[in-house]
Amino acid sequence: MLEIRDTIYAFSKNAKPVAHIKSGDTVKFITEDCFGGQIKSEDKLVGAIDWNNVNPATGPVYIEGAEPGDVVVVDILSIEVKPQGIGCTIPGASIFDGETEIRTKVLEVKDGYVHYNDIKWPANPMIGVIGCAPAGDDVVSGMAGNHGGNMDSKVITRGVKVYLPVRVKGGLLALGDLHASMADGEMIGAGVEIAGEVVATVSLIKDFKLNWPVTETADYFYVNTSAPSYDEAAELGYREIHRLLMNAYGWDFTDTAIYMSLQGDLCANQTVLMSSWGYNIRVGTPKVSSKRRLIG
């Protein structure tokens, strides 16, 4: 199995690929935590790190045959995280900004549980950053867009598929920013930030229109969007999943819209209150076994 560990800090059409693969190949991505390993103890605070070296994404990988208008499919087979992660407050990233101390907490991840103070809960390792290169300007790996990037969706975990629009030849796939656990919204700016390894099979769907990344779980399809305001992000998500539903189910515009009000879920991925980060959301709809799949 191919293993890669080189990292980038921006998704770019000009990035030099660290590996070339074919559709159907399996790759192990070895990742740093979102701070690039700069925080290892509780006396190191986020204000003292180099913010030019955060959210490293492992890659990029060039997929042979990937062309604009195609879709890269990332089938996540496993996510393994290290036994220690970081939780912290980030200035300017919360409704509690100015009320909380700037604090770092070292968190143990042991026997499948995250340990916090005197409680613990099951770990749910997930991928915060995953995407392909945009066709236009570079996008730093701490931001999200219609190429993917820092979507911070807690459902991007083992056993799901992530569908990414191809904007440039080869796709240039990269991923990183693992969390051992993260709540919807990531309201204070950080999950359990942690290093680890992701094993995924990467394949292609040719000539399929996809405007935004999509996550497929066992039961749902979710469109992931990002915008400067929550309302804009939600509208983009609703419009894209409406388009996919209408095409797959063969219903007219109005019937599809009514159905979405009955069977469409709106969830917060990351809504930290830093306007430069934007709002990342997902809009989902359950799978229906008797109908065509939305993708694939």
Task: Write out pLDDT tens, residues 46-97.
Answer: 877 887 888 999 999 999 999 999 999 999 999 999 999 999 998 878 888 8
Encode 95-130: b = buried (16+ Cβ within 10 Å), e = exposed: eebeeeeeebeebebeeeebeeeeebeebbbbbbbb
The per-residue pLDDT for 188 is 86
- pTM confidence score: 0.96
Task: Write out pLDDT tens, residues 127-140.
Answer: 999 999 999 999 99
Point out the least confidently predicted range of 34-43, 65-74, 165-174: 34-43
Backbone angles phi, psi at 102, to 5 degrees: -80, 115
Q: What is the dihedral of CA 44, 48, 53, 56, to 10 degrees?
A: 30
Task: Please determine, for residue 273, whether its predicted confidence score (pLDDT) is greater than 70.
Answer: no
User: Residues 6 or more apart from 220 whose CB is under 8 A from it?
Assistant: 155, 265, 284, 285, 286, 287
Tell me how far apart the alpha carbons of residues 63 and 172 are, in angstroms, rounded to a whole number: 7
Q: What is the pLDDT averaged over residues 98-110?
A: 93
Q: What is the pLDDT averaged over residues 205-217?
A: 98
